[in-house]
């Protein structure tokens, strides 16, 4: 008990000492404060403390409202353009090399060529091998313009994909004959683009080479799509029609460069090149694109129609794209619009091979 009382006493004494110290410090502060207050209030005006606050407010408040308005005024002019995409395109979409001439490692291309040549038909193997070798050299050449490199890449991919199909024992005889004809014309056309015209000859015009390459590249992309199970037309009639269009394009590209072709043959080939080069300015094509966009066509649908039109022309190429699953909803919506002039075409594409629907094109 004595011990406990001593501890309590010591705690009480300690506590009282601390309290005393605090009290003394408080007193010291209280006594020291008045002189400071007196020194602060000694000026004549008793309201200087509020005055420092107003100056901080005025400079802050006028500046914020002045700065945002100019930012808001500069933004609106950047937003109006979205209204333009709703209109049909006045210019053709990117050319074939820009979309499908994807860069690929030279080693992979060479392997594709080697594998493809093993399947090349005997009657065209020499010509195909020459064309593929030339294109590989041009693709590897750093001096080859990028657009030409992409075009040759598309052509090379089209040839190698088709050679794989020719090497498939299950390929139908009619497809084998059609692709062999295409390989011959395409290979000769590629080789002719690299041959120099005879001195004084005006048969081969350098200005025509980009047009020829563009048509051959589009045909190469069409061949790739024809060999792909996901994009090839499921109906044999449609597949045969696209094969005929690709064969016609390759033959035109060959004939226009052939110094031995007759004037009549060259004139026919020139018409094919001109028609395909102006395909995106075709009024019926533009009307079709406007029509499917009214049905909220997906971007994939619009892109597919544009790609197939570039690869196979109007109108079969466009209808090939329209028959793609990406356009199924838009075609179904168009088939329900009985008061539309495109109703018969949409209904036909929905139910029949697209190659049988060209007669339903309005104004055709």
Could you tell me the two tokens for 92?
Answer: 């053709």
Q: What is the mean pLDDT of the chain?
A: 77
**Which position has the higher pLDDT, 316 or 94?**
316
pLDDT at 150 over 80: yes
Confidence of residue 202 (pLDDT cuts 50, 70, 90): low
The Cα angle at residue 350 between residues 349 and 351, in degrees rounded to 5: 95
CA of 47: how far to CAs of 40, 50, 52, 136, 160, in Å? 10, 6, 10, 90, 92
The pLDDT assigned to 112 comes to: 85
Contact 163, 117 (CB under 8 A): yes
Q: Which two tokens stand for residue 201?
A: 């000859």
Counting other chains too, the contacts that 30-39 makes at CB distance below 8 Å and 24 or more residues apart are: none
Among 181, 176, 205, 174, smallest CA distance to 192 is for 205
The pTM of this model reads: 0.71
CA–CA separation, 335 vs 354, rounded Å? 14
Whole-angstrom distance, CA of residue 64 vs CA of residue 278: 56
Cα angle vertex 67, ends 62, 72, to 5°? 135
Q: How many residues comprise the chain?
A: 364
Q: How confident is the model at residue 190 (pLDDT cuts 50, 70, 90)?
A: very high
Residue 27 has pLDDT above 70, yes or no: no
Q: Read off the DSSP letter of residue 81.
A: G
pLDDT band at 2 (very low <50, low <70, confident <90, very high): very low
Residue 274 has pLDDT above 70, yes or no: yes
Phi, psi of 148 (to 5 degrees): -70, -40
Distance CA 169, CA 174 (A): 13
Preceding peptide of 297 cis, ω within 30°: no
**Weakest-pLDDT range from 151-155, 204-208, 301-305:** 204-208
CA distance 131 to 220: 13
Which distant-in-sequence residues (6+ apart) come within 8 Å of 351 by Cβ? none
pLDDT in tens, 134-149: 999 999 999 999 999 9
- Decide if pLDDT at 58 tops 80: no
- What are 66's two structure tokens? 């002045």
| Contact between 217 and 101 (Cβ < 8 Å) | yes
Q: Following DSSP, what letter does each residue of 127-164 receive, concatenated? A: HHHHHHHHHHHHHH-TTS-HHHHHHHHHHHHHHHHHHH
DSSP H stretches of helix in the chain: 2-41, 53-60, 63-66, 68-74, 96-100, 106-117, 125-140, 146-166, 173-194, 209-227, 236-255, 263-277, 283-294, 299-312, 318-322, 328-336, 343-351
* Cβ atoms of residues 250 and 219 within 8 Å: yes
User: Which among 299, 308, 295 has a CA at the least distance from the CA of 342?
Assistant: 295
Q: Where are the domains of the chain?
A: 96-193+207-277, 283-360
- Please say whether the beta carbons of 116 and 160 come within 8 A: yes
């Amino acid at each position: 008990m004595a011990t406990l009382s001593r501890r309590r006493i010591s705690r009480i004494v300690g506590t009282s000492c601390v309290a005393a110290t605090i009290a003394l410090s408080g007193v010291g502060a209280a006594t020291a404060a008045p002189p400071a207050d007196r020194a602060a209030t000694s000026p004549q005006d008793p309201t200087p403390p509020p005055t420092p606050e107003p100056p901080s407010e005025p400079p802050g408040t006028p500046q914020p409202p002045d700065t945002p308005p100019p930012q808001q005024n500069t933004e609106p002019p950047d937003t109006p353009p979205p209204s333009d995409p709703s209109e049909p395109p006045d210019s053709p979409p990117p050319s074939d090399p820009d979309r499908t001439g994807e860069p690929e490692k030279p080693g992979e291309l060479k392997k594709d060529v080697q594998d493809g040549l093993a399947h090349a038909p005997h009657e065209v193997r020499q010509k195909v091998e020459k064309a593929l070798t030339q294109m590989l050299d041009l693709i590897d050449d750093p001096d080859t313009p990028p657009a030409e490199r992409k075009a040759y890449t598309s052509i090379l991919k089209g040839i190698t994909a088709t050679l794989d199909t020719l090497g498939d024992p299950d390929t139908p005889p009619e497809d084998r004959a059609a692709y062999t004809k295409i390989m011959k014309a395409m290979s000769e056309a590629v080789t002719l683009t690299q041959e120099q015209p005879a001195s004084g000859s005006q048969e081969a015009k350098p200005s025509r080479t980009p047009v020829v390459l563009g048509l051959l590249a589009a045909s190469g992309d069409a061949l790739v799509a024809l060999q792909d199970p996901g994009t090839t037309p499921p109906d044999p009639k449609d597949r045969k029609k696209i094969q005929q269009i690709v064969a016609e394009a390759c033959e035109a590209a060959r004939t226009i460069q052939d110094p031995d072709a007759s004037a009549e043959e060259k004139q026919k080939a020139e018409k094919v090149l001109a028609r395909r080069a102006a395909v995106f300015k075709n009024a019926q094509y533009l009307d079709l694109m406007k029509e499917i966009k009214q049905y909220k066509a997906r971007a994939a649908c619009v892109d597919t129609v544009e790609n197939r039109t570039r690869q196979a022309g109007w109108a079969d190429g466009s209808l090939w794209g329209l028959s793609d699953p990406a356009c199924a909803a838009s075609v179904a919506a168009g088939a329900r619009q009985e008061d539309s002039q495109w109703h018969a075409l949409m209904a036909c594409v929905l139910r029949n091979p697209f190659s049988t629907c060209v007669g339903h094109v309005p104004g055709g």
